[in-house]
């Protein structure tokens, strides 16, 4: 792991479950010794070998002059002798994009002529074996153990933390496609396989392989030349097309199994691929074909693999009912005419005139790892006046509910009251406690004269924050969702000044439009922001105050873990390669506050947060998420935040200025006492991973109105789902879980149609131990911070 820009806390456990017992790394750790033990939160450990400050190329600058060549190498040997416990010295020749040096055999021979040195042209595996033999001897001095996340050591080597926010559009695309694969394509394909369809193993491998080609550190981190990242976007497009097609195919297979809808209705199948049952507001899009858009073409609607049903053009939604026939609250968001395309295995694509409706309805208890069905009922123009944007039902609602409302500049439900201020910021009140988070969603723009690796402010910066005026253009009034649409212009300097010491006097306008919405029953407010970036050399962040006077630490999600970090990093003494920053990574949530209250902010695809002071305030108490960091160079040598000079080649990268349209989705959830880690994961998943709906075929099968393919319980609660997929090389289901809590939990899992056997497997799906199947289920314990992968083999 020589060149990663920091290391996740769970890496030792990940390596162990991949069959690896060692790690060779460079950045992120400032220890001066060459050998350590590195321990994950669950106690897994690996032998860590720490590269020198020069990194993975301490023997690269080999000269053809023999004496000079040996002198350089001996200086590296002498340095390493001072660091090593094992007596093993690693000289690495080669660096990015270079070929093996022809003088290496000569260098090995000359080094071996020195007293006390035996040089070999060797391998990393042999080096690791030599180190391990020495450090595990009984007479060897004990090695120091380092634990958890490694994101420091700036007095030893550059961390280059600005890559978290460079070219954020790459991170957004990566997160979107990973989510499509992990939460839709793989689980739905697994359900379809359990229901009798073939599993698309080859297509999934292609999608993952294409996506992973974008994940080397200089690619996904956005610190390459423009041409590299243009190719990244091409790969993302290919992977996304396959992922979407596989999810759609599996959902279609499953929806064709359910019982058909009654006359005058459409049946919606709502899928839940999570490990917990889901309730709440579901958004669905429905197309109602009323005529062919190709009148010259003869197509038998009944001859298609999914027969097409035509509806009267004036048909409208009159109600929604659940699987028991009980009416559910619903709301029509919008409807308009479209040209819809029907795909078939037996015909070329057929285009139809259709009425497209975007609909909300309440769904209760969609089962985990399964689906529930809902019927959308229609009527004709005779009752047109009954259907309104407010969601009037034509029949009474089975269960009472509290509607969300909008009035003037305020929307509210039973939990939250959200007010849009004149300047475009939000006041969010938690009604149970009366706590108010003021001026949330403030936009902050500052100069950035850094590069793709590091943020660096100009000496004479100009700070700009949201000032409005915010003009509300549209109101959605409930009862299931209330929303305001508004926008404003943010005037910012056009670029850095010519000498890069300040921001230019010329300004440009960044257009900002926002949709702020609140659903009935929700404990978070959703913010959709669209920003048109017309400026260069700047950083744009969104600020959400925690409501606490001071924040000492914050929690965010990482790979298989919830990590708590101090709000402010104190620079170590001595000479620094770069200045430590308090900005840190997150995947989907950041939680900050104190013991009495705080806020959780959720987003997908953004990767950098920092706990900062509110504008014109002193103490750090506000979550800042970086939306855009616009720079024009791969590397520069004039950054105040990186006094060590260049971190890469000096190449202009105008694409890193990120000009154009950017879209973000952010959830803001006030809270009282700090939530458990598993609750933070659950809240972020509920916000970021909405359930998926699919129209059932008009000749659907005899299947049930709701079904769960896998049953899973945990006691006490503390399990987070990581993956649900088919096995890579055999007919089985793979379920991966992790426990982010400090207590152990016991998990019982079963396939609802019967299970022949179950196994604990590692991350490569190699069987480690069999788990007894008792009463149809397999039970195992999951220790604190442990990753567990379970293989479930169905009957037959």
Does residue 175 belong to any structural domain of this protein? no
> Would you say 266 and 306 are in contact if contact means Cβ atoms under 8 Å apart?
no
Instruction: Yes or no: say if 522 and 413 are a contact pair by the CB < 8 Å rule.
Output: yes
Tell me what the pLDDT averaged over the chain comes to. Answer: 93
pTM of the model: 0.94
Please tell me whether residues 508 and 628 are part of one structural domain: yes
End position of a domain, from candidates 357, 385, 401? 401
Q: Is residue 172 part of a domain?
A: no
DSSP H or E stretch at residue 193? helix 186-194
Three-state SS for 390?
coil
What is the structure's pLDDT at 336?
93
Angle of the 104-112 helix axis to the 66-83 helix axis, nearest 10: 60
Closest by Cα among 389, 376, 379, 377 to 694: 376
Q: What pLDDT is stored for residue 96 in this prediction?
A: 86
pLDDT the model gives residue 63: 66
Range of the domain at 599: 405-675
CATH number at residue 518: 2.70.98.30
Residue 127 and residue 40 share a domain: yes
DSSP 671: E
Report how far residue 239's alpha carbon sits from residue 243's, in angstroms, rounded to the nearest whole number.
Answer: 6
593 plus 737 within the same structural domain: no
Rounded Cα gap, residues 622 and 543, in angstroms: 7
Q: How confident is the model at residue 157 (pLDDT cuts 50, 70, 90)?
A: very high
The CA distance from 602 to 591, in Å, is: 9
* Among 340, 366, 401, residue at a domain's last position: 401
Domain assignment of residue 240, yes or no: no
Let me know if residue 638 belongs to a domain. yes
pLDDT band at residue 381, thresholds of 50, 70 and 90?
A: low
378 and 447 co-located in one domain: no
Q: Please report whether residue 215 resides in a domain.
A: no
pLDDT at 304: 78
Predicted pLDDT at 260? 82
Q: 396 pLDDT exceeds 60?
A: no
Give pLDDT, residue 634. Answer: 99
Rounded Cα gap, residues 296 and 274, in angstroms = 46
Residue 390's pLDDT is 34
380 and 411 in a common domain: no
Q: Edge to edge, what strands does the sheet with 720-726 contain? A: 720-726, 733-738, 787-794, 755-761, 767-771
Each residue's pLDDT tens digit, 397-428: 445 678 999 988 999 999 999 999 999 999 99
SS3 letters for 615-660? CCCCCEEEEEEEEEEECCECCCCCCCCCCCCCCCCCCECHHHHCCE
Are 426 and 460 members of one domain?
A: yes
Query: Of 180-184, 611-615, 744-748, where does mean pLDDT reach its minimum?
Result: 611-615
CA nearest to 363, candidates 245, 247, 520:
520
Q: Is residue 220 part of a domain?
A: no
CATH number at residue 149: 3.20.110.10
Q: What is the pLDDT of residue 93?
A: 86
Q: Give the span between the Cα atoms of 517 and 668, in whole angstroms.
A: 11
pLDDT of the residue at 42: 98
Within-domain flag for 191: no
474 shares a domain with 621: yes
The CATH code of the domain that includes 383 is: 2.60.40.2210
Read off the pLDDT of residues 59-118 as tens digits, 9 standing for 90 and up: 887 666 778 878 888 988 999 999 999 999 999 988 888 888 888 888 899 889 888 889
Q: What is the CATH number of the domain that holds 743?
A: 2.60.40
pLDDT value at position 385? 38
Model confidence band, residue 389 (pLDDT cutoffs 50, 70, 90): very low
Please check whether residues 391 and 508 belong to one and the same domain. no
**At residue 210, does pLDDT exceed 60?**
yes
What's the whole-number mean pLDDT along residues 639-647? 97
Share of the chain above pLDDT 70, in %: 96
Rounded mean pLDDT, 285-296: 90
Structural domains of the chain, count: 4
Average pLDDT of the residues in 777-786? 98
Dump pLDDT digits (tens) for 12-21: 999 999 999 9
Residue 94 to residues 62, 99, 241, 571, Cα–Cα distance (Å): 10, 7, 38, 32
Residues 474 and 453 grouped into a single domain: yes
Q: Which of 625, 649, 675 is the last residue of a domain?
A: 675
Band (pLDDT 50/70/90 cuts) for residue 652 is: very high
User: Cβ(793)–Cβ(749) under 8 Å?
Assistant: no
Residue with tokens 């020589």: 2
Instruction: Provide the 3-class DSSP secondary structure of residue 562.
Output: strand
Lowest-confidence region among 215-224, 300-309, 628-637, 749-758: 300-309
- Structure confidence by residue, pLDDT tens digits, 467-502: 889 889 888 998 999 999 999 999 999 999 999 999
**Same domain membership, residue 345 and residue 317:** yes
pLDDT at 391 over 70: no
What is the rounded end-to-end Cα distance, in angstroms, of the chain?
Answer: 43
Provide the pLDDT for residue 261.
Answer: 85
pLDDT tier at 307, thresholds 50, 70, 90: confident
Length of the chain: 796
Strand pairing report for 584-585 and 330-342:
unpaired
Q: Evaluate whether residue 688 is within a structural domain.
A: no
pLDDT score recorded for residue 384: 43
Q: The tokens 């007095």 sit on which residue?
A: 155
- Please indicate, yes or no, whether residues 370 and 458 belong to a single structural domain of this protein: no
pLDDT at 393 over 60: no
Which whole number is the average pLDDT over 504-525? 97
Residue 618 is predicted with a pLDDT of 77
Give yes or no: residues 396 and 461 share one domain.
no
User: Distance between CA atoms of 734 and 746, rounded to whole angstroms?
Assistant: 18
Question: Which regions of 173-232 does DSSP assign to beta strands (E)?
Answer: none
């Amino acid at each position: 792991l020589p060149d990663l820009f920091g290391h996740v806390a769970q890496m030792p456990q990940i390596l162990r479950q991949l069959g690896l017992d060692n790690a060779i790394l460079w950045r992120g750790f400032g220890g001066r010794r060459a050998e350590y033990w590195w321990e994950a939160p669950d106690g897994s450990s690996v032998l860590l070998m720490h590269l020198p400050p020069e990194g993975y190329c301490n023997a690269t600058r080999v000269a053809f002059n023999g004496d000079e060549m040996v002198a350089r190498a001996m200086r590296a040997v002498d340095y390493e002798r001072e660091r090593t416990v094992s007596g093993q010295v690693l000289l690495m020749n080669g660096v990015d994009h270079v070929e093996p040096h022809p003088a290496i055999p000569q260098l090995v021979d000359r080094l071996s002529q020195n007293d006390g040195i035996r040089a070999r042209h060797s391998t990393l595996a042999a080096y690791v074996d030599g180190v391990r033999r020495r450090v595990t001897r009984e007479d060897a001095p004990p090695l120091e153990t380092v634990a958890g996340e490694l994101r420091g050591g700036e007095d030893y080597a550059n961390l280059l933390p600005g890559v978290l926010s460079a070219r954020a559009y790459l991170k957004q695309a990566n997160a979107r496609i990973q989510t499509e694969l992990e939460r839709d394509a793989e689980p739905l394909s697994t359900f379809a396989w359990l229901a009798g369809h073939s599993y698309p193993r080859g297509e999934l491998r292609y999608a993952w392989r294409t996506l992973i080609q974008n994940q080397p550190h200089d690619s996904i981190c956005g610190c390459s030349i423009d041409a590299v990242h243009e190719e990244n976007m091409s790969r993302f497009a290919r992977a996304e097309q396959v992922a979407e097609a596989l999810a759609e195919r599996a959902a279609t297979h499953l929806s064709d199994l359910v019982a058909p809808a009654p006359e005058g209705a459409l049946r919606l199948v709502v899928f839940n691929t999570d490990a917990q049952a889901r309730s709440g507001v579901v958004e669905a899009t429905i197309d109602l074909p009323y005529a062919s858009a190709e009148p010259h073409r003869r197509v038998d609607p009944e001859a298609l693999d999914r027969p097409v049903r035509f509806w009267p053009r004036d048909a409208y939604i009159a109600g929604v009912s659940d699987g028991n026939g009980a009416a559910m609250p619903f709301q029509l968001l919008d409807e308009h005419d479209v040209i819809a395309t029907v795909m078939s295995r037996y015909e070329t694509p057929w285009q139809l005139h259709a009425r497209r409706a975007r609909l909300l309805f309440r769904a209760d208890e969609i089962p985990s790892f399964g689906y529930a069905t809902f019927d959308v009922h229609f009527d004709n123009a005779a009752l047109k006046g009954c259907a309104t944007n407010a969601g009037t039902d034509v029949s009474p609602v089975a269960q009472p509910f509290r509607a969300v409302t909008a009035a003037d500049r305020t929307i509210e439900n039973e939990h939250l009251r959200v007010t849009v201020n004149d300047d475009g910021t939000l006041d969010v009140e938690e009604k149970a406690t009366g706590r108010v988070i003021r001026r949330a969603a403030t936009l902050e723009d500052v100069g950035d004269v850094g590069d793709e690796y590091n943020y660096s402010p100009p000496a004479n910066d100009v700070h700009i924050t949201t000032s409005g005026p915010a003009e509300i253009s549209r109101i959605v009034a409930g009862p299931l969702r209330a929303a305001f649409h508004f926008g404003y212009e943010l005037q910012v300097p056009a670029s850095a000044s010519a000498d890069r010491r300040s921001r230019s006097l010329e300004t440009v306008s960044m257009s900002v439009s926002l949709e702020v919405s609140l659903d009935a029953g929700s404990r978070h407010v959703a913010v959709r922001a669209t920003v048109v970036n017309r400026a260069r050399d700047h950083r744009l962040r969104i600020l959400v105050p925690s409501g606490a006077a001071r924040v000492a630490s914050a929690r965010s999600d990482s790979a298989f873990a919830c990590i708590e970090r101090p709000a402010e990093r104190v620079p170590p003494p001595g000479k620094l390669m770069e200045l430590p920053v308090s900005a840190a990574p997150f995947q989907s949530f950041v939680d900050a506050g104190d013991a009495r209250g705080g806020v959780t902010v959720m987003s997908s695809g953004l990767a950098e947060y920092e706990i900062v002071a509110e504008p014109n305030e002193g103490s750090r108490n506000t979550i800042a998420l970086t939306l855009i960091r616009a720079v024009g160079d791969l590397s520069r040598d004039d950054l105040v935040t990186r006094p060590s000079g260049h971190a890469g080649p000096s190449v202009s990268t105008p694409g890193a200025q990120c000009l154009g349209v950017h879209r973000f989705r952010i959830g803001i959830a006030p809270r009282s006492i700090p939530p458990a880690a598993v609750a933070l994961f659950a809240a972020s998943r509920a916000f970021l991973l909405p359930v998926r709906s699919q129209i059932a075929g008009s000749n659907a099968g005899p299947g049930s109105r709701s079904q769960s393919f896998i049953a899973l319980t945990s006691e006490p609660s503390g399990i987070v789902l990581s993956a649900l997929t088919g096995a890579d090389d055999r007919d089985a289901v793979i379920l991966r879980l992790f426990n982010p809590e400090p207590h152990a939990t016991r998990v019982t899992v079963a396939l609802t149609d019967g299970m022949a056997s179950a196994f604990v497997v590692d991350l490569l799906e190699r069987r480690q131990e069999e788990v007894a199947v008792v009463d149809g289920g397999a039970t195992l314990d999951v220790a604190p911070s442990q990753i567990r992968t379970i293989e479930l083999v169905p009957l037959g």
